[in-house]
Amino acid sequence: MGTRCGDIDPAIVTFLMQKEGLDTKGIDSLMNKKSGVMGVSGVSSDFRDLYTAADEGNKRARLALDMFIYQCKKFIGSYAAAMGGVDAVVFTAGIGENTYQIREDAVEGLAFMGIEINKEMNKGTRGVEKNVSAAGSKVQVLVIPTNEELAIAKETEKLTKKV
């Protein structure tokens, strides 16, 4: 996550509250605004900034990127196992649509699962619907843009019509 903590051991919440003297507002701020890649890197929640900092030798930025990529791979593998296989890996939303490095790094080493990316096609993709799978990849690697704000507005409209 950009600024949120993601998966954590639930016991960490009370530990941090006690150790840092945080109330519920303080722990909420820490977990939702000062964690994620922002908290690990100390740089930014913007992946462009993280890659720039990592390229300049910032070890915390590199760690934040490595941790994010690790989580992506973990989710791909766990969902593939839960579903008994996978036909496609879809990258969407801000990071998935716009950050070719994340897509490339997230599927690196997953050829054993049939997931292979065409690095050249992947680099030329930013915010457009595209299949970036390598030739012969058994699993499709897709970039599908989304408009989260529009989806939220449509769902809100549906809910308000029911009231």
Q: Which three-class secondary structure state does DSSP give residue 117?
A: strand
Amino acid residing at 132: V
Helix H or strand E encompassing 88: strand 88-91
Structure tokens at 73: 């791979």
Give me the long-range contacts of 85-90 (CB less than 8 A, separation at least 24).
86/113, 86/115, 86/139, 87/139, 87/140, 88/139, 88/140, 88/141, 88/142, 89/115, 89/139, 89/140, 89/141, 89/142, 90/142, 90/143, 90/144
Over residues 125-159, the pLDDT tens digits come to 777 899 999 999 999 999 998 888 888 899 999 99
By residue range, what is the domain housing residue 138? 86-163
Domain co-membership, 76 together with 104: no
Q: Are residues 47 and 112 in the same domain?
A: no
Q: Tell which of 53, 84, 115 closes a domain.
A: 84
Question: Domain count of the chain?
Answer: 2
Q: Which domain CATH number covers 114?
A: 3.30.420.40
Q: Say yes or no: 101 and 136 in one domain.
A: yes
pTM, two decimals, is 0.84
User: pLDDT digits over 23-52, tens only?
Assistant: 999 999 999 999 999 999 999 999 999 999
- Average pLDDT on 56-70 reads 97
Distance CA 1, CA 19 (A): 24
Q: What does the block give as tokens for 136?
A: 């012969």
35 shares a domain with 10: yes
Three-class SS state of 40:
helix
pLDDT at 137: 96
Give tens-digit pLDDT for 96-112.
Answer: 888 899 999 999 999 99
What pLDDT does residue 125 have?
75
